Amino acid sequence: MGILNVTPDSFAEAESRIDSARSVELALQMEAQGADLIDIGGESTRPGSDPLSLEEELARVVPVVRDLGKRLRVPISIDTYKAGVAKAALDLGASLVNDVSGLRFDPALAKVVAEHGAGLIVMHTRGRPKTMYSEATYENVVAEVASELKVSLDVAQSAGVLFERIVVDPGIGFAKRPEHSYGVLARLDRIAEAVERPVLVGPSRKSFLRSALNDRPAAERDWGTSAAVTGAVLAGAHMVRVHAVAEMVQVVKVAEEIRRHGSVIT
């Protein structure tokens, strides 16, 4: 999954992505580099960020989704927790909604997904981005993340979203200290087994990597990201969400080969 942030304030990119023409160009480039789908987001949900209005988010993403819906061969995912943004994107050809709130921020979102017959990613988090770290307290992070993801799954199904169209995301870096994120990465198989759904992992350039990389800035964390992606694939991830598509396609292919051979060698 290639990340396309149509924002002026992404934590992981020096370049502002608010220009829709440039965003379209970058999406087509990621497709050519091997992305299996493109995840388009108009609101930064990095820790400490402020919420964006519905109108502004629509203004950022609608032109990009409209154009890419006619040009991309791979599916489009809309990264939003707002029902209004999801509906607009799905109407324009998106086929998947990636909700960082796990259906906790907008009660109407699940119904929009169900009405469109779309796919849904529910991510684990606690609280809002502004205050999420204050809720990063766990006795057993893997068990608690799995349990709270099950709540999101129940909400989705109650709204009519088909179980087989849901993917879960354990929320690396969201309401989690670095030790929690690493613990989740190391035990993805347990989360997948508990929720019985495919798992998406988004470790790309995130701040949890700083604890192992001597506080390197986000733009210099691709080597660390490649290690996290490798670990995620070996632990059972079905999809990874990344910025550096060309490089991470190679990482995933090699990690997949290691995983495949590990399952056949006795």
pLDDT tens-digit readout, 107-153 = 999 999 999 999 999 999 999 988 899 999 999 999 999 999 999 99
pLDDT of residue 9: 63
Specify the pLDDT at position 28. 98
Indicate whether 49 pLDDT > 90: no
Over 60: is that where the pLDDT of 11 sits?
Answer: no
Span 89-108, average pLDDT: 97
Q: Which residues contact 104 (CB under 8 A, 6 or more apart)?
A: 125, 152
pLDDT above 70 covers a percentage of the chain that reads 95
Q: Is 215 within 8 Å of 207 (Cβ atoms)?
A: no
Domains in the chain and their CATH numbers? 2-264 (3.20.20.20)
Contacts of 259 (CB under 8 A, 6+ apart): 233, 234
Neighbouring CB atoms inside 10 A of 122's CB total 32
Judge if pTM exceeds 0.75: yes
Q: Mark residue 215 as left, alpha or beta (left: phi above 0; alpha: psi -120 to 50; beta: remaining).
A: left
Nearest to 68 by CA among 77, 81, 58: 77
* Active-site annotation, residues: 206, 241
Of 13-27, 71-85, 195-209, least confident by mean pLDDT is 13-27
Nearest-angstrom CA–CA distance, 178 and 211: 7
Q: In the chain, where does DSSP find H-type helix?
A: 20-33, 54-71, 83-91, 109-116, 141-158, 178-186, 188-195, 210-213, 222-234, 245-264
pLDDT in tens, 165-174: 999 999 999 9
